[in-house]
Amino acid sequence: MTRKKGIAILGSTGSIGTQALDVIEAYPEYFSLEVITAGKNAELLIEQAKKYQPNTVVITEESLYQQVKDALWQESIHVYSGSESLCQVVESAEVDTVLTALVGYAGLKPTLRAIEAGKTIALANKETLVVAGELVTRLAREKGVNIYPVDSEHSAIFQCLVGEFHNPIEKIYLTASGGPFRGWSLEQLQTVKREQALKHPNWSMGAKITIDSATLMNKGLEVIEAKWLFNLRPDQIDVVVHPQSIVHSIVQFEDGSMKAQMGLPDMKLPIQFALTYPDRFTTSFPRFDFLNYPSLTFEQPDRMVFKNLDLAYEAMNLGGTAACALNAANEVVVEAFLNEQIPFLSIADINEETMRTTPSINNPVYEDFVETDKIAREAALHLVTKWKIT
């Protein structure tokens, strides 16, 4: 029998992370869970460690190290803390695939280290490609490392490309649900509350991506993610709103043929495909029934109301560190919105101003991304203070 596939999950306590654990648990003969990590959720990390018995756990928040260590003293599990530990554990010889299910810029460094160490990447953490897509994909090419998408739209594109890798792509269409505020006017959006923005119509996800979906920044980030994953020009990437979230995305080839991947919205499928590619394993996930969806509809995104989408295109066209600055600003403003410090509409306004004022560096190296992230965060925080709700 061949060796089991060793998996490290960065961010095992989150929405993607917990669903990934379900997937891994379903195929014990195929996967071996080596590493799980969490930012601050020590309770759930401890519970997961006891249940799934990985070799190693990391709690990034250092003040929670003792709590996790004490709770697991009877288990033969290594416990570490701090963000440098995240980078070290992915290098372990037992790890074959690293699932990056942590949120935000924090994913960049451990992903680079995992690629450096030759590990296959199952990429959920889209911010890594948004911030430093050129650097990450270049390193992956140099190291012969595959990056398999977990994001449902990108998994859909990837699934459509299986057997077609030699055929050039003419265009892709990323589908977007439109979020909870599809069809709303700027005036209606002025008074939106946190709870309304957190209610996504079709997907249950972590708080940051749920807000990003409500502002269409998520689709903007996905446009940039697609550029790097599939090596596309900006004009080859289009977005179409599809409120039912059944068609997960579409590839158009040079003969005009279009392939779409469909199914009920359930992240377990793309998570599993990223871990089992090129195989498909039998599942009992609910199946899509056409008769429950007599009409699948498509419409244009409202780019005037949801400005973040075009800001992402602008960052992609600018290149350099522009998308890094936009991402940093967005992480700051989403947190501020979640803390009820700023109104919904200032999310895009602060993103725009930060991106425009942060100096962009051409042909950036890793340190340039670190510096740009820092400068843009400071600029965005300053604007948050200026626009704070009193």
Q: The tokens of 49 are what?
A: 């460690």
Say which entry of ligand NAD, Mg ion, none residue 97 contacts (CB below 5 to 8 A, set by partner kind): none
Say which entry of ligand NAD, Mg ion, none residue 111 contacts (CB below 5 to 8 A, set by partner kind): none
Tell me how many residues contact ligand NAD (CB under 6 A): 27
What's the gap between Cα 271 and its chain centre? 12
How close are the terminal C-alpha atoms of the chain, in Å?
64
- Among 38, 87, 112, 131, the residue binding ligand NAD under the rule CB under 6 A is 38
- Of 125 and 261, nearer to ligand NAD (C-beta) is 125
Say which entry of ligand NAD, Mg ion, none residue 159 contacts (CB below 5 to 8 A, set by partner kind): none
CA distance linking residue 352 with residue 312, whole number of Å? 10
Confirm or reject binding of residue 151 to ligand NAD (CB under 6 A): yes
CA distance linking residue 157 with residue 283, whole number of Å? 21
- Among 209, 214, 323, 347, the residue binding ligand NAD under the rule CB under 6 A is 209
CB 52 within 8 A of CB 29: no
- Among 109, 126, 242, 377, the residue binding ligand NAD under the rule CB under 6 A is 126
- Among 55, 85, 111, 125, the residue binding ligand NAD under the rule CB under 6 A is 125
Q: 3-state DSSP call for residue 233?
A: coil
CA atoms within 13 A on the CB side of 297: 9
Residues 6+ apart with CB under 8 A from 139: 112, 115, 116, 145
Confirm or reject binding of residue 127 to ligand NAD (CB under 6 A): yes
Say which entry of Mg ion, ligand NAD, none residue 90 contacts (CB below 5 to 8 A, set by partner kind): none
CA distance linking residue 95 with residue 90, whole number of Å? 7
Residues 6+ apart with CB under 8 A from 378: none
Q: Could you say which residues in the range 351-380 bind ligand NAD, by CB under 6 A?
A: none
Binding track, positions 210-239, relative to ligand NAD; x by CB under 6 A: ------------------------------
Confirm or reject binding of residue 267 to ligand NAD (CB under 6 A): yes
What type of residue sits at position 87?
A: C
Peptide bond into 294 cis (omega under 30): no
- Among 33, 64, 102, 172, the residue binding ligand NAD under the rule CB under 6 A is 102
Cα dihedral angle (66, 67, 70, 75), rounded to 10 degrees? -110
- Among 6, 7, 17, 111, the residue binding ligand NAD under the rule CB under 6 A is 17
Q: Could you say which residues in the range 41-70 bind ligand NAD, by CB under 6 A?
A: 41, 60
CB 339 within 8 A of CB 381: no
Confirm or reject binding of residue 13 to ligand NAD (CB under 6 A): yes
What's the gap between Cα 362 and its chain centre? 25
- Among 34, 96, 127, 151, the residue binding Mg ion under the rule CB under 5 A is 151
- Of 68 and 267, nearer to Mg ion (C-beta) is 267
Say which entry of Mg ion, ligand NAD, none residue 127 contacts (CB below 5 to 8 A, set by partner kind): ligand NAD
Which neighbouring-strand residues pair with 258?
Answer: 252
CA distance linking residue 114 with residue 96, whole number of Å? 10
Please, what is the minimum distance in Å from the beta carbon of residue 205 to Mg ion?
Answer: 9
- Of 276 and 357, nearer to ligand NAD (C-beta) is 276
Element (H, E) at 136: helix 126-143
The Cβ of residue 76 has, within 10 Å, a number of other Cβ atoms equal to 7
Please, what is the minimum distance in Å from the beta carbon of residue 101 to ligand NAD?
Answer: 5
- Among 6, 14, 54, 243, the residue binding ligand NAD under the rule CB under 6 A is 14
CA distance linking residue 72 with residue 295, whole number of Å? 52
Q: Applying CB under 5 A, which residues contact Mg ion? A: 151-153
Q: Applying CB under 6 A, which residues contact ligand NAD? A: 11-17, 38-41, 60, 101-103, 106, 124-127, 151, 203, 205-206, 208-209, 267
